[in-house]
Amino acid sequence: MQIKLVEAHVIRLKNNILEFLLLKRSPSESYPNLWQMVTGSIQEGETAYQTAIREIREETSLIPEKLWIIPNINAYYSPKDDRIYHIPVFAALVNENHEVNISSEHSEFIWAPYEKSHKLLAWEGQRKSQYIIKEYFAGNSSYCFIEIKKSDWKL
């Protein structure tokens, strides 16, 4: 099965509180006005993690300091081609002081702690990924995150 999409949860630690970046889709985009994390399509010749980094930069102007593979695969059904796609999930830690500049794909953004951001996500798979991230950073988890070291990024 070919992977076409990625999901990247952008996070920061502000005053030792984990915050998630959520983006509101523009009214002119598919799924208008929906709150989501960074998502995007894999381009030919890209790996999934390269797509996550590129999409984070394109959609927010942020550059990750660290990137992890989250032990969760999201799924998406496309009625256009009647297929189910499996979506790799990433978490990207960014500097708490860097400014977010959203692309035209989105109309607004918020940084919010888990309790608030979790309620805004539309799909259970996205909420599950966010829960796993929250538990991992709280030290309450046996989940294994695999870090893709910056020195190994092939961009």
Give the pLDDT band (50/70/90) at residue 64. very high
Domain assignment of residue 109, given as a range: 5-152
Nearest to 36 by CA among 125, 100, 104: 125
Confidence of residue 2 (pLDDT cuts 50, 70, 90): low
In the chain, how many domains are there? 1
Q: How many residues does the chain have?
A: 155
Which letter does DSSP use for residue 59 in this model? H
Q: The CATH number of the domain where 67 resides is what?
A: 3.90.79.10
86, 129 Cβ separation under 8 angstroms: no
Residues of the chain by 3-state class (helix, strand, coil), percent to 5:
25, 40, 35
- What pTM, to 2 d.p., does this model score? 0.94
The whole-number pLDDT of residue 127 equals 96
91 burial level (CB within 10 Å; 0-12, 13-18, 19+): buried
